[in-house]
Amino acid sequence: MKALLLLLQAPAEHAAEHAAGAEHAAEGAAHGGGPAEVLMHHVTDRVLYTIPVGPYHLLITKHLVFFVLAAVVVLIAARLAIRSYREGGVPTGIGAAVESFVLFIRDDIAEANIGHDGLKFVPLLCSFFFFILFAALLGLLPFSATSTGNIAVTLGLAIVSFLAMQYAGISKYGLWGHLKNLVPPGLPVFLLPIMIPVEILSVFTKPFALMVRLFANMLAGHMVITALLMLIPLMAAINAAFGWAVVPVSLGLALFIMVLELLVALIQAYIFTLLTAIFIGMFAHPAH
């Protein structure tokens, strides 16, 4: 089982080294659990360390470690970008890259979908974008984990997005005005008992969609990579010669998916940020 886990968690470029022990790994899998168990063990969270705190226990999990690591990387990248301005006035290197993303988020996401009110939401949108991006990129490293592949993490991001949506409406129209804007104006009175619950439900379905979309996409990508790498020991268990023949195919497909995951990381960060801005704009500028 240990050899199989090493094979599954290694990146595509190192998987060939572990392919020599494919038959041994398959035998370990046969004794320790089936492919489904190995697959779920790779993509789900697990406890790394337990810290007793009085009658309670603080669990340090793998996803928590990479969640904190992604946040630290975002802070370091921001500090380096700021420092590039201080040294020469014109950003270079990472400062120029960060500036291009920030300007894109400000002009093409925040102002385009929220209006001039969008400027105050730019820091939040940038935080969403860079955290999701770096969390996904860290998940492609050997023996790592994608923290946004945990439903608790995407739930936290969705809750922050939900609070930003309500703040956009309440800060502009007040609490009562914000609640009145949830229902389209001009509706017949007899439709209000139907539309009010529907509109209240839609307030919560927006962040729910953000949560599930990000979680499902991040989880699915790693499940595909793991399943492709699992073909090597599984095929070796069926037929030794055929198992070796499937090695280049399996590694090639896994490498292709990993490269594709680089693009997916950028796309998912963009989609979550864009949808958050659109939803904020809907509350800040309801249709009348």
Instruction: Say what the pLDDT of residue 100 is.
Output: 92
Mean pLDDT score of the chain, rounded to an integer?
Answer: 79
Tell me what pLDDT residue 242 has.
60
pLDDT of residue 244: 66
Interacting residues of 280 by C-beta distance below 8 A, sequence separation 6+:
113, 114, 118, 121, 164, 165, 168
More confident residue, 228 or 11: 228
**Does residue 220 contact residue 260 with C-beta atoms inside 8 Å?**
no
- Higher pLDDT residue, 181 or 77? 77
Sign of CA dihedral 262, 263, 267, 268: negative
- Per-residue pLDDT band for 140 (boundaries 50, 70, 90) equals confident
C-alpha to C-alpha distances, 194 to 4, 191, 197, 200, nearest whole angstrom: 55, 5, 6, 11
pLDDT of residue 29: 43
Euclidean distance between CA atoms 63 and 182, whole angstroms: 37
The predicted pLDDT at position 7 comes to 35
The per-residue pLDDT for range 72-101, each reduced to its tens digit, is 999 999 998 888 876 667 777 888 889 999
Per-residue pLDDT of 210-232, as tens digits, reads: 999 999 888 887 777 777 767 66
Closest to 71 (Cα-Cα) out of 140, 2, 134 = 134
Query: Is residue 122 pLDDT above 60, yes or no?
Result: yes
Instruction: Tell me: pLDDT of 186 over 50.
Output: yes
pLDDT score, position 25: 39
- pLDDT tens digits, residue range 237-252? 666 656 566 677 777 7
Q: How confident is the model at residue 167 (pLDDT cuts 50, 70, 90)?
A: very high
18 has pLDDT over 50: no
What number is the average pLDDT over the span 176-190? 81
State the pLDDT confidence band at 34, using cuts at 50, 70 and 90.
low
Q: What percentage of the chain has pLDDT greater than the value 90?
A: 34
- How far is 203 from 166, CA to CA, in rounded Å? 9
- Residue 91 has a pLDDT of 76
Cβ atoms of 211 and 158 within 8 Å: the answer is: yes
Q: How many residues does the chain have?
A: 288
